[in-house]
Amino acid sequence: MKSYLAAAIQMTSVSDLQKNLVQAEELIDLAVRRGAELVGLPENFSFMGEEKDKLAQAEAIAQASEVFIKKMAQRFQITILGGSFPVPVGDTGKVYNTTILVNPNGEELTRYNKVHLFDVNVPDGNTYRESSTVVAGEQLPPVHNSETLGNIGVSICYDVRFPELYRHLSTKGADIIFVPAAFTAFTGKDHWQVLLQARAIENTAYVIAPAQTGNNYDRRLTHGHAVVIDPWGTILDDAGDKPGVAIAEINPSRLEQVRRQMPSLQHRVFQ
């Protein structure tokens, strides 16, 4: 594993597939021009709109998203996490909420279907029922082992509230953990940063959290603050509340230093 720059993209995705892909490409280009070799897009990067519209266009969104991610990886010669996008599930009329990790050759390295679905009545008056359109994944997320970039684990948004998932990634050797999200504005102001810092600290791993921000559609407001966090829980960069990029160094020496100073993973009593 070498030292390199990683970027968390922050977008305001809407219900226009092509408009979202143009925005994503511009921000990926910005990240690469700043030196990023590992780039993550947010949850629902290619489409955020009414659920009925998402389902109606799911096949087209899935196909366009996957082609786009692989094209960007090859064009910019980066490893890229494709945030998440809907993938139709047979004849169920529903989709998976899926992310893929792709290498600079455009080859898929890992694929993960979100297992924890956001079925919540938020105190701001909004109700979310992700399970009404999404089929939960049944497999724990994978860790991709890279000699140059380190061991990369993946998750999606609401997963961040379930520490056992991240302990799994840690047990599998994760050095870097992605958390692409579309966190609600209401919950994000209180929970986003502290949950991400907790996942970084308890697993002594870097956390890269791409995010949605602003008004995506109707009353759907997202929190923003895409961040890169180091294994000590220090926020290395924060994209604020506008579309942009959080970028910071992933440093193996820092990873080793923190794990040496705070060897909590070695002190676990219950496995």
Q: 104-138, pLDDT tens digit by residue?
A: 999 999 999 999 999 999 888 788 999 999 999 99
The DSSP element (H or E) to which 226 belongs, if any, is none
Span 137-146, average pLDDT: 97
Q: Where in the sequence numbering do the catalytic residues fall?
A: 43, 114, 157
Domains of the chain, by residue range, sit at 4-267
State pTM to two decimals: 0.97
Round to whole Å and give the CA distance between 83 and 57.
18
Topology annotation, domain 4-267 = Nitrilase/N-carbamoyl-D-aminoacid amidohydrolase (3.60.110)
Q: Convert the pLDDT of each residue in 81-98 to its tens digit.
A: 999 999 999 999 999 999
Pairing type for strands 4-11 and 176-178 reads: unpaired
Q: Are 228 and 193 in contact (CB under 8 A)?
A: no
Whether residue 174 is predicted with pLDDT greater than 80 in this model: the reply is yes
Span 241-265, average pLDDT: 97
Whether residue 184 is predicted with pLDDT greater than 80 in this model: the reply is yes
